[in-house]
Amino acid sequence: MLLERQAPGTQSEADRLRARAVWLYHVEGITQNDIAQQLGISRVMVVRLLADARRRNEVRVTVSAPLAELTEIERRIEATFGINRVIVAPFADPDEDPVRVIAAAAGAFISSLMTSGMTVGVGWGRTLYNSLPFISGETLEDFRVVSLLGGIAAARRFNPAEFAWQFAELFQGEGFLIPAPAVVDSPETKHALLERCGLAAIFEMATKLDVALLSVGGISTLTTSYRTGYITEADRRSLIEAGAVGDVLYNFISEDGKPVQHEVNDRVISADLSLIRRCPERVLISGGKEKRIAIKAAMRTLVPTTLVTDEQTAISLLS
């Protein structure tokens, strides 16, 4: 990582504040909340400072790795699953968490993909959130980011709205968030929100996306904090009994890639996967031992144009 500095004597107070926030976050690994306390500013300001630094190319995360040996795996997956492009990040340990390496590979690809005039739909999750430091932001004209899933009431790092907002900040674009929970209490509430509260207009934007950035959720365990309170342990077991192997945008799908018949799917505030499938560039970013079956199912559902994953997951997809 390279922290660039301006010439001596040219830094303003805003520049110094931004540099301190960048150093604390990227070098010392301090959380955004703790940085806010240390610098005496709000967490929102910390997010803006970090996004501004990335946009100015003051923070560069460089990944150098010998990828040639992975080319054969990438081409085999492309041929097997009919995917235009597969990006496999090196990862040797099949039992460790590959989120960071996938995020690094995804960040580099996303940086090269974004251009002015785009409408980008985004999902949620740890992998997408961790890709933010690896994305080279810049100011793009007429750039829109649409969250494809409702938010989470409690503010956490992996809130769908949080990722969409920070992603839009990187490119100085407009952000369109879903002002509703990811899962509501009944199909009737969902219908009312869509028809009477203007949410349908935002989801209508999902029919005009240029790019969709999506991840896959596993269902073998409920380890991620953002699910707490929406999908209970009883719901999880019931979904598994109904044949669910994972989810995309909280749409729980079976091994053949079809939505399972379950009442949770009727209460989800998210874009319809059949609409996402019409998007010309569908990027699926995911990996990990517990998600391998779910990723195969998601590929059947989304038919992605690009897959970004890790070496161990890639090998398992071919086995």
Asked whether residue 127 falls in the same domain as residue 270, the answer is yes
Q: Categorize the per-residue pLDDT at 12 as very low, low, confident or very high, splitting at 50, 70 and 90.
A: confident
Residue with tokens 């991620």, as numbered in its chain: 224
Residue 158 near residue 125, CB atoms below 8 Å? yes
Rounded to whole angstroms, the Cα distance separating 103 from 244 reads 25
Asked whether residue 292 falls in the same domain as residue 206, the answer is yes
Q: Fill in the amino acid letter for 164.
A: A
- Residue 5 pLDDT exceeds 50: no
- Residue 295 pLDDT exceeds 70: yes
Rounded to whole angstroms, the Cα distance separating 12 from 261 reads 58
Mean pLDDT across the chain? 86
How many other C-beta atoms can be found within 10 angstroms of the C-beta atom of residue 12? Answer: 9
Alpha carbon 281 to its chain's center = 15
Residue scoring higher pLDDT (9 or 187): 187
- Residue 271 burial by Cβ neighbours in a 10 Å radius (0-12, 13-18, 19+): buried
Residue (of 163, 151, 157, 130) closest to 269 by Cα position: 151
**Average pLDDT for residues 140-144, to the nearest whole number?**
96
Asked whether residue 202 falls in the same domain as residue 305, the answer is yes
**Average pLDDT for residues 63-92, to the nearest whole number?**
82
CA neighbours closer than 13 Å in the CB half-sphere of residue 236: 16
Asked whether residue 220 falls in the same domain as residue 305, the answer is yes
CATH number of the domain where residue 91 is located: 3.40.50.1360
Asked whether residue 18 falls in the same domain as residue 141, the answer is no
Q: Give the pLDDT score at 193.
A: 86
pTM value surpassing 0.85:
no
Range of the domain at 126: 66-318
> What Rg value do the Cα atoms of the chain yield, rounded?
20
Q: Give the pLDDT score at 29.
A: 79
Residue 94 near residue 288, CB atoms below 8 Å? no
Asked whether residue 76 falls in the same domain as residue 177, the answer is yes
Residue 20 near residue 14, CB atoms below 8 Å? no
Q: Give the pLDDT score at 69.
A: 65
CATH number of the domain where residue 5 is located: 1.10.10.10
Structure-token pair, residue 153:
């009431």
Rounded to whole angstroms, the Cα distance separating 134 from 107 reads 5
Asked whether residue 73 falls in the same domain as residue 56, the answer is no
Asked whether residue 154 falls in the same domain as residue 278, the answer is yes
Listed residues 60, 83, 103: the one ending a domain: 60
**Average pLDDT for residues 119-135, to the nearest whole number?**
92
Q: What is the tens place of the pLDDT at every residue in 80-116?
A: 999 999 999 988 888 889 999 999 999 999 999 999 9
Percent of the chain with pLDDT over 90: 54
- Residue 154 pLDDT exceeds 90: no
Q: Categorize the per-residue pLDDT at 204 as very low, low, confident or very high, splitting at 50, 70 and 90.
A: confident
Q: Give the pLDDT score at 174.
A: 94
Asked whether residue 254 falls in the same domain as residue 144, the answer is yes
For the chain, how many structural domains are there in total? 2
Asked whether residue 79 falls in the same domain as residue 182, the answer is yes
Asked whether residue 50 falls in the same domain as residue 180, the answer is no
**Sheet strand arrangement including 119-122:** 85-89, 306-310, 281-285, 211-214, 119-122, 144-147, 174-176
Q: Categorize the per-residue pLDDT at 8 as very low, low, confident or very high, splitting at 50, 70 and 90.
A: very low
- Residue 59 pLDDT exceeds 60: yes
Residue scoring higher pLDDT (8 or 152): 152
β-sheet bridge partners, residue 181 = 151
Residue (of 122, 130, 188, 134) closest to 160 by Cα position: 122
- Residue 120 pLDDT exceeds 70: yes
Q: Give the pLDDT score at 93.
A: 84
Q: What is the tens place of the pLDDT at every residue in 208-232?
A: 999 999 999 998 865 443 454 577 8
Rounded to whole angstroms, the Cα distance separating 189 from 315 reads 43
Asked whether residue 53 falls in the same domain as residue 131, the answer is no
Sign of dihedral through CA atoms 228, 229, 231, 237?
positive
